[in-house]
Amino acid sequence: MSCAEEEDLTAYVDGELAPPHRARVEAHLGTCAACQRTERLLRVTVARMAEVSAFTPSPSPSTRREVLARLDALPPTWRERLAALLRPGVLVPSLGVAAAAVLAVLVVGRGGGEPALEEWDPGALEVATNLELVEDYEVLGLDSSDDLEVVENLHELGMP
Amino acid sequence: MDLDPDTQAMLKVAAGDKQAFAWLFDRHHASVARFAFRFVGDPARAEELTQDIFVKLYRHAGAYKPTAKFKTFLFRVATNHCLNEMRRGEYRVARLATGAPDAEDAGGLEMPGPEGDRPDQALSGRELEAAVGLALGDLSERERAAFTMCRFEGMAYRDIAEALEASEAAVKSLIHRATLAVARRLEALQAGTVPARSRA
């Protein structure tokens, strides 16, 4: 059966325990032969790992080129797209176009409320001029041009 | 605040500087390739993973905060990528990992064998590599990741915890289990009860 302290032995060997914790483990090691054996085994193993790590891969120039080519093939991120849009070469002409558009909207907006009198449709202008007469026609229920002519010339018929 | 060269380079990478990226790549390629190799036990796959990890590093450079150590950030990217790939079943740990591969098998990597073949030791360097490779193959993915960062990259438990997004207590436990498993295998090998290249 293993001791509760066994879990701490690797951290102890690695020097990763805080001083009070380390002191507790040391006190336990003084009295537990099984933990002493385990601690020795761990210490030897950790030391031997230094030989294993002599294995050192290094990048070849072609590996670096491949990775850089993959970066070039990446779709631009929103940050890159934003940066591209904010470049002076793009930003200045774009601002010019935007300013012209805003100006055009303002000019059209200001002038667009009431068209000049000469821009009116002639038919509509005539109706407007004779609005009172048109309303009378509608009250009378007249719609043919003959009836309208009669109404227009009522005064010639000697009506009171 | 004085920033170390890695951090300065990484901030440049975040701004899209590919020269700074190439510098970081040259500087840390070996660590990442070694980590990936210990993870998958195959040099060609390790190289694929290493390239993927660096591409991810570039893509996520904007998430880097200079308050974190660059190496911790790099290994967080590396660990997440390796774990994800393992979960997707893209890679399987080479169960017959023999440590440092032969040069002709190493693909884009130049992987010299261990220089520590010492006749005075009970285990030769190659036997040691083989035994460690086999023991790593038997570990859980997180144990393997924690062990590799600790033993081969010399990272502190605190940094490993950050890279693994785990507590220091959890990392202490992962490293202990992994180290003990490797120790037991080496012990058995030295006692002659387990052949160096046997399956677990």
Instruction: Give me the residues of A, 71-130, that contact B with CB < 8 A.
Output: 71, 74, 77, 79-80, 83
A residues 29-68 closer than 8 Å to B (CB)? 38, 41-42, 44-46, 48-49, 51-60, 62-64, 66-68
Q: A5 at the B interface (CB within 8 A)? A: no
Percent of chain A residues topping a pLDDT of 90: 29
Would an 8 Å CB–CB cutoff place B124 in contact with chain A?
no
Band (pLDDT 50/70/90 cuts) for residue B173 is very high
Indicate whether A22 pLDDT > 90: yes
Grouping H, G, I as helix, E, B as strand and the rest as coil, residue B93 is: coil
Q: Model-level pTM greater than 0.80?
A: no
Domain ranges in chain A are: 4-52, 117-155
Share of chain A above pLDDT 70, in %: 59
Query: In this predicted model, what pLDDT tens digit does every residue of B88-108 receive, in sequence order?
Result: 776 655 543 444 444 334 444
This model of the complex carries an ipTM of: 0.78
> How far apart (Å, rounded) are the C-alpha atoms in residues B35 and B39?
6
CA distance B112 to chain A (A): 6
Q: Spell out which residues of chain A touch residue B176, defining contact as CB-CB under 8 Å.
A: 7-11
Query: What is the mean predicted confidence (pLDDT) over A113-131?
Result: 59
pLDDT of residue B172: 97
- CB-based contacts of A135, cutoff 8 Å, min separation 6: none
Band (B33; pLDDT cuts 50, 70, 90): very high
B115 touches chain A (CB under 8 A): yes
With CB atoms and an 8 Å threshold, state whether B187 touches A59.
no
Q: For the residues B116-143, what does the mean pLDDT come to?
A: 75
> Which residues of chain A are within 8 Å of residue B18 when distances are taken between CB atoms?
68, 71
Q: Where are the domains of chain B?
A: 5-190
Average the pLDDT over each of A61-70, B4-13, B118-127, B184-193 and give the range with the smallest value. Answer: B118-127
CB contact under 8 A, A79 and B116: no
Q: Phi and psi of B63, rounded to 5°?
A: -85, -10
Residue B38 makes CB contacts below 8 A (sequence gap 6+) with B136, B144, B147, B148, B152
Nearest CB among B47, B108, B183 relative to A45 is that of B183
Question: What integer is the mean pLDDT of B156-173?
Answer: 96
pLDDT at A105 > cutoff 60: yes
Burial B151-171 (b: 16+ CB within 10 A, else e): bbbebbbebbbbbbebebebb
CATH class of B5-190: mainly alpha
pLDDT for A82 equals 74
